Amino acid sequence: MTTLDLDGLIDDPATRIIVCCGSGGVGKTTTAAAIGLRAAERGRHVCVLTIDPARRLAQAMGLTELDNTPRPVVDIKASPGSLDAMMLDMKRTFDEVVESHSDPERAQAILNNPFYQALSSSFAGTQEYMAMEKLGQLRAQSDSEGTWDLIVVDTPPSRSALDFLDAPERLGTFLDGRFIRILLAPARGAGRGIGRIIGAGFGLFAGVLNKVLGAQLLSDLAAFVGAVDTMFGGFRERAEATYALLKDRGTAFIVVAAPERDALREASYFVERLEQDGMPFAGLILNRVQEVRAPELSAEQCLAAAERLEVAGDSPITVSLLRLHADRLRNAERQRRLATRFTAAHPGVPVTEVIALAEDVHDLDGLREIGGLLAGN
């Protein structure tokens, strides 16, 4: 098994973007933050984009304002490096996209439309799409202003592997679908009413929708589609640019997992999908691995010794400690079996294991400790 050389990766000036992906609850956000801090303290100018950090982690990084803009993280030992961090505001990012692609009047019409509001706040994939959109913006800003030379991105806990890779495409397909084109026809036909559209299919369709949803809904929908039409080109272009950016050699994907069956199954999907898309994949970080001290004491040996002491009525606390040790060994063995299964299926993948810490990270020292573990020391 090869080890992921994190310091080699973050010290290489050619590394411009690191994307941390994985299922929910495996410590992905913490990992992204720890990588960002370590890189900054090793001299990089880093921006960390987090999606939904735990409250204490956010506080540790000084993320108190949700204003969709990177803010400097203070109290780091980064000279000449620097660290900025931000939390993604999905809706605000979407609004900004709309504003930058339309004149103010049209933008306002879109922002007020109930369908836009539904799409921007809860369409499956919007968060993924906006995370990638924000990444594109940050990268453009760092290219033009020289603000950052490394961007570390946390990704939303996708339900299915790499929704964020598919999101731009999905949104594009969705907005470009046949149905939308039918709805768009009247808008393009010099502002005639939607009911004037010819074609039995549409008449039937409009009838049904009017009946079920009410006429207001249909006209809102037509207005939305008409307004959004002008942005299509922009959406597509940006989605393609972001995808190209992800595929670039300056990007490194890190898959984060925990040694549990479901998380490793997800990690397998991620690894396979990244390889299939030819994405630059750096390796796997296996978080929350059970640490065993004195592994040479086997579980059986400890349980037998505990039994002997218990029968003799000797030192109850030693009995408990031996059983605790056996418990940890068994858990570690179970995790080892799961990890072995993963490496057997993906033999070339570099893996770094990080032991489970007793406490959640709540300050920069905690993040620094994790950064050290990630780098293998």
Partner 1 sequence: MPTSDWPHVMLHVVSGKGGTGKTTVAAALALALASGGRRVMLMEVEGRQGLAQLFDAPPLPYEERKLAVAPGGGEVWGLAVDPEEALLEYLELFYNLRRAGGALRRMGAVDFVTTISPGLRDVLLTGKAVELVRRKDKMHAKPYDAIVLDAPPTGRITRFLNVNTEIAGVAKVGPIRSQADGVMAVLRSPKTAVHLTTLLEEMPVQETADGVRELSDAALPVGGIVVNVTRPPRLDADQLALARSGDLPVDEIRRAVLAAGVGRDTDSVVAALAGEAADHAARVALEDTERLRIAELGRPVYELPFLASGIDLGALYELGSRLKAQGMA
What residues have CB less than 8 Å from 307, skipping those under 6 apart? Answer: none
Angle, in degrees to the nearest 10, between helices 104-112 and 114-122: 70
Nearest-CA neighbor of 341 among 280, 259, 272? 259
- Could you list the residues that contact partner 1 (CB under 8 A)? 23-26, 54-56, 114-115, 117-119, 122-124, 157, 159, 174, 177-180, 182, 201, 204-205, 207-209, 211-214, 216-217, 220-221, 261-263, 291-294, 296-297, 301-302, 305-306, 308-309, 314-315, 317-318, 320-325, 327-328, 330-331, 334, 358-360
Closer residue to partner 1 (CB): 141 or 331: 331
Sequence-distant (6+) residues with CB within 8 A of 200 are none
- Cα-based distances in Å from 102 to 13, 91, 105, 231: 37, 17, 8, 7
- For partner 1, the closer of residues 71 and 323 by Cβ is 323
Residue 274 identity (one-letter amino acid): L
Beta-carbon contacts of residue 51 (< 8 Å; ≥ 6 apart): 29, 87, 88, 127, 131, 154, 155, 156, 157
Query: Of how many residues is the chain composed?
Result: 377
Residue 212 CB, nearest approach to partner 1 (Å): 6
Residue linked to tokens 């930058």: 100
Of 331 and 343, nearer to partner 1 (C-beta) is 331
In the chain, which residue ranges form alpha helices assigned H by DSSP? 6-11, 28-41, 55-60, 90-101, 104-112, 114-122, 126-145, 163-175, 178-188, 200-213, 215-229, 232-247, 261-276, 299-311, 316-345, 364-374
C-beta of 9 vs 206, nearer to partner 1 = 206
CB of 291 to partner 1, least distance (A): 7
Instruction: Kindly state the smallest distance separating residue 201's Cβ from partner 1, in Å.
Output: 6
CB of 59 to partner 1, least distance (A): 12
Q: Least Å distance between CB 324 and partner 1? A: 4
147 or 331: CB nearest partner 1: 331
**Based on CB atoms, which residue is closest to partner 1, 74 or 294?**
294
Q: DSSP class of residue 80?
A: S
Task: Report the residue number, 47 or 326, with the smaller CB distance to partner 1.
Answer: 326
Residue 41: CB minimum distance to partner 1, A: 25
Smallest gap, in angstroms, from Cβ of residue 337 to partner 1? 11
Which residue from 306, 301, 324, 326 is spatially nearest to 316, judged by alpha carbons?
Answer: 306
Main-chain phi, psi angles of 294, to 5 degrees: 55, 60
